[in-house]
Each structure stands twice: as C-alpha cells, then as structure tokens.
A = this chain, B = another copy of it.
C-alpha cells in the first residue's frame, strides 16, 4: 500500500527562534502589525510503500528520529494518509 506522510518539524518551544524574530520584524515593516509571534520549521512530505498503516507509521517515525529531525533542538509530528 502507498502512503503519504505530512511531517512538521519545529524548534522546541523553549528555544529562541531568531529566524522567527526576523520575519516578525519584517512583517511589521510591511505594515502587518497584528502578528505577535512567528515560529519557523520544516514541512516534509514522504511518499512510501508499506504493508499496513502501522508499518508505515513506524517507517516514518524511524526516518524522523534517525535523519529528518534533530531531536535535541526540534520536535516532530506527522499525519499519515493511505493513497489509492
């Protein structure tokens, strides 16, 4: 079965997000005043083959832990959907 995983990898909440601060500052420069906080991370989509949803979930979790996310600095969440 074919699956697609939509993964969000974000910096830990406690960590400073200099990129986010810069964007927040730039938003004010283009007169978008209503935004109080900006956090920037990665969105990764994986297309994969697996026997079951559970097997797919394990593959994606493994890929995130071993390569895609730096667990010291980042957290990851993902949604999985089966493809026809």
Query: Chain B's nearest CB lies how many Å from the CB of A4?
Result: 9
A47/B37 contact (C-beta < 8 A), A59-B32, A63-B27 known:
yes
A73 to chain B, nearest CB (A): 15
The count of chain A contact residues (Cβ–Cβ below 8 Å) is 33
Number of copies: 2
A-B CB contact pairs (8 Å), 17 listed? A6-B8, A8-B43, A9-B43, A10-B43, A23-B67, A27-B63, A32-B66, A34-B49, A34-B50, A34-B56, A35-B59, A35-B63, A38-B44, A40-B42, A40-B44, A41-B43, A42-B42
Give A contacts to B, CB under 8 Å: 6, 8-10, 23, 26-27, 30, 32, 34-50, 56, 59, 62-63, 66-68
